Amino acid sequence: MSSKAHSSNNIAHARRTVQQLRIEASIERIKVSKASAILMSYCSEHARNDPLLMGIPASDNPFKDKKPCTIL
Amino acid sequence: MCDQTFVAATFGPCESCGKASPLMNIYIKTEAINYCSFCVEMMACKGLQEGETVASLKKESESLKKKLDEERGKLSDIELNQVAEKVEVLGPLCIKTRRVLKGHGNKVLCMDWCKDKRRLVSSSQDGKVIVWDAFTLNKEHAVSLPCTWVLTCAYAPSGCAVACGGLDNKCSVFPLSLDKNENLSAKKKSVAMHTNYVSGCTFTSSDMQLLTSSGDGTCALWDVESGQLLQSFHGHTADVLSLDLAPSETGNTFVSGGCDKKANVWDMRSGQNVQSFETHESDINCVNLNYYCQLNPFVSGLCCCMFTGAPQCRFYDLRADREVAIYQKDSIIFGASTVDFSLSGRLLFAGYNDYTINLWDTLKGTRVSVLFGHENRVSRVRVSPDGTALCSASWDNTLRVMSWSTMSNILFYTQRKGCCILRLFSL
């Protein structure tokens, strides 16, 4: 009984795999060059908004260390 | 479809739909099929069983896989780093640790930022979930969970609740109140129930829905208020270790990564697995397989940390449906377990098991910087919602908040110092 159940599960599993692969094979793809161009343009567009690339003025940085000038 | 009456010799779970009902025991090409009568009807109508055996299905799946690889190969006309040669090289970045959050008694396993850019929640092996104010180092809330190894935690978009889960196979939501004396454990709401550990959780665009991933191989979408399962996502053949949700403006997509070496892209509404990425590592001689995935801000790129024999971070483009970059160096021999992108997607932070965080230029594929400081492996890195800071959680029981400035700011500081010294001398 267990071997019969195993083989039926194999069929169900195999059928699911085939259906999944059919879906994946049919999706629309674009070329890597085009995808890279899109990635690059997105990055350059948003680089202005990225504090890591633009730097944070010390006055705005919420995490800056507050050091009083003790010499004066 | 109307049901026929038949003599049922057996009663039990149907091998097709799983529901317990009287079964028809039929044989197709010497293979026994025990389906309930409804499924037999479905089978007959679909006409699929004609000559279909495991062998024929296997052949078809092999040919489909080959076709998939071919199609993907056709599009690989150029490498991402070649296209990115024209992009300017990044200037030197100065990243310093600004805060060290101490308080957990054991490994910190996960953390998440609040949308207000200053609070964060962290969960640890000691069973505690702590909500911190990262500016003041204040511990605003602390909850002790009955089980240890709280593998995941998430902050609600409104900032009014946190979710956490782990080895208790559940994901619970705690509403946060301003009243410090209130017992948070009393208001705990169990939302998600899995049959194995909960490895990842995140709220969707609102506080009302929670997405979880589990060691039972599934992901699930839950309604927080009722605890009802709204959608489940089946497709992984092993534990699902991580998930990441696309920003809400771009639709209902999320990605999950699992121990079956696959990253699956899902449509949240239909539960359908729309894309899948698998690595074909020929020499896999590792004990620990870490598979962590993160979507870039544009949701066209997915970065996966793979730790097999050769530790690498792979960058897949969803639209090109293939891998477009690998971030690796011969000097890096330990695997990465967590990644996060900067706000523009240009930079990638990756936390490694050698206690460091490497900063990669996603377009050029080069390493920009290495961040030291932790004394044990880095379990989670997250950039704050406004991109001004990075928080890293580690097995050394601490969290570190790092922030950055550009070289120009450093010059400004040294000039000021010079001024002060001159004044001293003139005195």
CB B157 within 8 A of CB B207: yes
Mean pLDDT on B183-196 = 88
Q: Which residue has the higher pLDDT, B179 or B156?
A: B156
Can you give the pLDDT at residue B303?
A: 60
Contact criterion met (CB < 8 Å) for A69 and B322: no
- pLDDT of B402 over the 90 cut: yes
Mean pLDDT on A29-35 = 84
Q: Within an 8 Å CB–CB cutoff, is residue B271 touching chain A?
A: no
Which of the 8 DSSP states describes residue A72?
Answer: -
Q: Within an 8 Å CB–CB cutoff, is residue A1 touching chain B?
A: no
- pLDDT of B52 over the 70 cut: no
CA angle, residues B284, B152, B278, in degrees to nearest 5: 30
3-state secondary structure B217-264: CEEEEEECCCCCEEEEEECCCCCEEEEEECCHHHCCEEEEEECCCEEE
Chain segment B176-187, per-residue pLDDT in tens: 987 766 777 788
Chain B hits for A11, CB-CB cut-off 8 Å, are 31, 52-54, 57
How close A11 gets to chain B, by Cα (Å)? 5
Confidence of residue B390 (pLDDT cuts 50, 70, 90): very high
Strands of the B389-394 sheet, one edge to the other: B93-102, B398-406, B389-394, B378-383
Can you give the pLDDT at residue B309?
A: 46
Can you give the pLDDT at residue B412?
A: 30
Of the listed ranges B139-143, B158-162, B184-188, B265-269, the one predicted with least confidence: B184-188
Contact criterion met (CB < 8 Å) for B276 and A29: no
Can you give the pLDDT at residue A41?
A: 83
Tokens read off for B233: 């996502």
Q: Residue B341: how many CA atoms within 13 Å on its side-chain side?
A: 25
Q: Within an 8 Å CB–CB cutoff, is residue B335 touching chain A?
A: no
Can you give the pLDDT at residue B290?
A: 41
Nearest Cα to A36, choosing from B166, B14, B382, B301? B301
CB B213 within 8 A of CB B198: yes
Confidence of residue B134 (pLDDT cuts 50, 70, 90): very high
Can you give the pLDDT at residue B417?
A: 36
Long-range contacts for B223-227 (Cβ within 8 Å, ≥24 apart)? B223/B191, B224/B173, B224/B189, B224/B191, B227/B189, B227/B190, B227/B191, B227/B192, B227/B193
Tokens read off for B77: 């006309």
Q: Which residue has the higher pLDDT, B272 or A44?
A: B272
Chain A hits for B346, CB-CB cut-off 8 Å, are 43, 47, 50, 53
Can you give the pLDDT at residue B416?
A: 35
- pLDDT of B238 over the 80 cut: yes
Q: What gap in Å lies between CA B125 and CA B380, rounded to an integer?
A: 14
- pLDDT of B69 over the 50 cut: yes
- pLDDT of B107 over the 90 cut: yes
Of the listed ranges B10-24, B48-62, B190-204, B375-389, the one predicted with least confidence: B48-62
Tokens read off for B382: 């997250």
Q: Which residue has the higher pLDDT, B165 or A7?
A: B165
Confidence of residue B426 (pLDDT cuts 50, 70, 90): very low
What is the C-alpha R_g of chain B?
25
CB A17 within 8 A of CB A25: no
Can you give the pLDDT at residue B225?
A: 92
Is residue B351 within a helix (H) or strand (E), and if so which, with residue range?
strand B347-352
Mean pLDDT on A8-37 = 81
Q: How far does chain B reach from its first CA to its final CA, in angstroms?
A: 100
Of the listed ranges A13-22, A34-43, A55-64, B272-281, the one predicted with least confidence: A55-64
Nearest Cα to B376, choosing from B359, B393, B358? B393
- List residues bridging with B113 in a β-sheet: B120
- pLDDT of B305 over the 80 cut: no
Q: Which residue has the higher pLDDT, A8 or A47?
A: A47
Mean pLDDT, all residues of chain B: 81
Alpha helices by DSSP H, listed for A26-66, are 32-46, 51-54
Mean pLDDT on B174-203 = 86
Most confidently modeled range among A10-14, B271-275, B312-316, B413-417: B271-275
Q: How far does chain A reach from its first CA to its final CA, in angstroms?
A: 89
CB B306 within 8 A of CB B313: yes
Can you give the pLDDT at residue B423?
A: 29
DSSP three-state, residue B1:
coil
Q: Within an 8 Å CB–CB cutoff, is residue B267 touching chain A?
A: no
Contact criterion met (CB < 8 Å) for A69 and B387: no
Interface of A with B in 5-24 (CB under 8 A): 5, 7-12, 14-15, 17-18, 20-24
Phi, psi of B294 (to 5 degrees): -145, 135
- pLDDT of B110 over the 90 cut: yes
Question: With left for phi above 0 and alpha for psi between -120 and 50, is residue B154 left, alpha or beta?
Answer: beta
Question: With left for phi above 0 and alpha for psi between -120 and 50, is residue B19 left, alpha or beta?
Answer: beta
Q: DSSP string spanning B295-317?
A: E-TTSSEEEEEE-SSS-EEEEEE
Q: Within an 8 Å CB–CB cutoff, is residue B270 touching chain A?
A: no
Confidence of residue B108 (pLDDT cuts 50, 70, 90): very high
